Amino acid sequence: MVHLKGIEEQLSLRLRLTLWYVLLLGLTMLMFSGYVYWRLQHSLMTQVDASLEMVATQALVNIDTGGEDNSMPSFQNTEEMAAIVDRLGETNLIVRLVSPTGKAWAGLGYYRNVPALVPKRPGYDSVSRGKHVWRVYSFPLEASDGSPIGWLQTAQSLDSVSHALEGLREQLYWAIPLTLLLTGLGGFFLANRALRPIDRITRTAHSISATDLSRRIQYVGPRDEVGRLADTFDAMLDRLQAAFERERQFTDDAAHELRTPLTILKGRIGVALSRPRSKREYEGTLRDLEQEVDRLIRLGTDLLFLSRLDQVRLFWHWEKVDLSGLLQVIAEQVRPIAEGKGVELSESIDSGLYVTGDQDHLIRLFLNLLDNATKYTPKGGQVRLEALQDGRDIVVSVSDTGPGIPSEAIPHIFERFFRVDADRSRETGGAGLGLAIAYEIVRQHNGHIEVQSQVGEGTTFVVFLPVEAPWQKEG
Ligand code: ADP
């Protein structure tokens, strides 16, 4: 079995298809031929049996079963008997009268060629001598007082039946292997034709390297299984290329984001060192530098966090999270910052809201949104946090009366490193990763996030989180 499996693995698909095809066809032909052979044999034998019985019936009326003088039974020489004798000549049948011990008293046709047979019961038997077989029909003869006196037997040689069957066997011996050979060749040709495009796809796929994802199979042909395979492959390459481009863009942006604060640091250090300065001046410069370093640390942490978010969800700590309690705590945490800025924070959080999720990530998500709202809302403005259950979703919204987001920026707002106004953000310390992180966290929770904003009026971020965990939903 192991050996066979090894061989099968080495054979090409086209050869395996052909072999299976030939094997199945061979089995079908064998079964069909067996059936035809059996039917022919059966019908020839039925014919022989029927004519034996018919001749016996006709002969029976022309038999003289012998009189009181104990004479042996004999055929009456009537016209009918003569007709039977004529027909016997044509069909190679014999008729004979035999004693209870099997001795032939009288007969018509070549009845002496047929071996003697003492039947055990009335009906059909077969006897053979050498290679020749006869079919014999026996009918009991009785005297007028009902006592058994012998048998009437009609018999026919089965040579013609054997010949007919042998002829069929010979034809099948040739026809089956020949048909299998022809269909095998045809099957191989067809399999070859059907699989040739796959070879082409394989060659193209081979020539696509990780650094050049721009090549496509661009299959020209019918949209059958192979066509769809090629399309799927091209679509996968599209996605891979897009992902690859995104990664590259991300690395570029990250490098750029790192370089800007580092250049500022370098500039400040250069200015500070350009001439001797007082202790106060050095302290001031160091405090400025500390701010830039903090920004860099934040950026590093955010980048690390984003890269971890992209990793498999299995590493997340999933649990049932009391969202009502969690939001309340976050609001309390943000309140002093908001009040310090002169922004009013109000909330309406329904009690008993639960989701299955990663608590740390959920804290990060809502802290980012509330932090942005308070950060971008000017003095005297308001920030509102609301949470409620809507069907199978928990809906959390964070709205503010800040400057709003221009409509052309909204489609990009969740992109990594995107900032509406780079200068504005720079003052407030963001690198444009906060919303990208929020988006990713919501996505990993199988939820979605929306934004509505009007320039000059304010912004609302709405987060929808399913009540069930992602795996509960699938079940
Ligand atoms: P950042 O760390 O710069 O705040 P985010 O990803 O959190 O980055 O936000 C991206 C951009 O979206 C910000 O630069 C800011 O211009 C805009 N933005 C985010 N939240 C708000 C808001 N509540 N009101 C107005 N603009 C906002």
Check whether residue 425 and residue 342 sit in a common domain. yes
In a domain, 74, yes or no: yes
Query: For position 397, what pLDDT does the model report?
Result: 97
Query: For position 422, what pLDDT does the model report?
Result: 63
Given the DSSP bridges, would you call strands 458-466 and 448-454 parallel, antiparallel or unpaired? antiparallel
Q: Is the CB of 435 under 6 A from ligand 1?
A: yes
Check whether residue 270 and residue 321 sit in a common domain. no
- Distance of CA 381 from the midpoint of ligand 1 (Å): 16
Question: What is the chain's pLDDT, residue by residue, as a tens digit (475 residues)?
Answer: 545 665 566 678 888 889 999 999 999 999 999 999 999 999 999 999 998 998 898 888 888 776 555 567 777 776 777 777 777 766 778 889 898 888 888 888 788 888 988 888 999 999 998 888 999 999 998 877 778 888 999 999 999 899 999 999 999 999 999 999 999 999 999 988 888 888 888 888 888 776 678 888 888 888 888 889 889 989 998 998 888 888 888 888 888 888 888 998 999 899 999 999 999 999 999 998 998 898 889 888 888 888 877 766 656 788 999 999 999 999 999 999 999 999 999 999 999 999 999 999 999 999 999 999 999 999 999 999 999 999 999 999 999 999 999 999 999 999 988 888 765 555 566 788 999 999 999 998 999 999 999 999 999 999 999 987 655 544 3
Q: Which domain holds residue 394?
A: 316-474
In a domain, 418, yes or no: yes
- Distance of CA 384 from the midpoint of ligand 1 (Å): 17
- Distance of CA 411 from the midpoint of ligand 1 (Å): 13
In a domain, 220, yes or no: no
| Model confidence, pTM | 0.59
Q: Say how far apart CA 190 and CA 72 lie, in whole Å.
A: 76
Check whether residue 325 and residue 352 sit in a common domain. yes
Check whether residue 149 and residue 257 sit in a common domain. no
Among candidate residues 276, 308, 340, the one where a domain is terminated = 308
> Mutation test of ligand 1: which of 253, 372, 401, 418 has the most ligand atoms closer than 8 Å to its C-beta?
372
Check whether residue 18 and residue 120 sit in a common domain. yes
In a domain, 209, yes or no: no
Cα pseudo-dihedral 150, 156, 159, 160, rounded to 10: -170
Q: Say how far apart CA 93 and CA 160 lie, in whole Å.
A: 12
Check whether residue 382 and residue 468 sit in a common domain. yes
Q: Say how far apart CA 105 and CA 149 lie, in whole Å.
A: 11
Q: Which atom belonging to ligand 1 lies closest to the Cα atom of 432? A: 8
DSSP conformational letter for 128: E
Q: Which atom belonging to ligand 1 lies closest to the Cα atom of 422? A: 14
- Distance of CA 415 from the midpoint of ligand 1 (Å): 11
Q: Is the CB of 373 under 6 A from ligand 1?
A: yes
373, two tokens: 């709202």
- Distance of CA 451 from the midpoint of ligand 1 (Å): 11
Q: Say how far apart CA 349 and CA 338 lie, in whole Å.
A: 18
Check whether residue 155 and residue 231 sit in a common domain. no
The answer to whether 121 touches 17, Cβ cutoff 8 Å, is no
- Distance of CA 373 from the midpoint of ligand 1 (Å): 8
Query: For position 475, what pLDDT does the model report?
Result: 37
In a domain, 390, yes or no: yes
Check whether residue 261 and residue 390 sit in a common domain. no
Q: Say how far apart CA 74 and CA 95 lie, in whole Å.
A: 11
CATH number, domain containing residue 252: 1.10.287
Q: Which atom belonging to ligand 1 lies closest to the Cα atom of 436? A: 6
In a domain, 58, yes or no: yes
What contacts 148, CB < 8 A, 6 or more positions away?
100, 140, 141, 142
Check whether residue 110 and residue 67 sit in a common domain. yes
Query: For position 6, what pLDDT does the model report?
Result: 57
Check whether residue 340 and residue 264 sit in a common domain. no
Check whether residue 325 and residue 455 sit in a common domain. yes
* Structure-token match 């990780």, residue found: 210
CATH number, domain containing residue 46: 3.30.450
Ligand 1: residue whose CA is nearest its atom 20: 372
Q: How many domains does the chain have?
A: 3
The answer to whether 365 touches 442, Cβ cutoff 8 Å, is yes
Q: Is the CB of 459 under 6 A from ligand 1?
A: yes
Ligand 1: residue whose CA is nearest its atom 14: 419
In a domain, 191, yes or no: no
In a domain, 265, yes or no: yes
- Distance of CA 350 from the midpoint of ligand 1 (Å): 27
The answer to whether 155 touches 135, Cβ cutoff 8 Å, is yes
Q: Is the CB of 138 under 6 A from ligand 1?
A: no
- Distance of CA 419 from the midpoint of ligand 1 (Å): 6
What contacts 88, CB < 8 A, 6 or more positions away?
55, 94, 95, 108, 109
Among candidate residues 289, 308, 327, the one where a domain is terminated = 308
Check whether residue 27 and residue 95 sit in a common domain. yes
Q: Is the CB of 383 under 6 A from ligand 1?
A: no
CATH number, domain containing residue 356: 3.30.565.10
351, two tokens: 């009690």
Among candidate residues 249, 283, 308, the one where a domain is terminated = 308
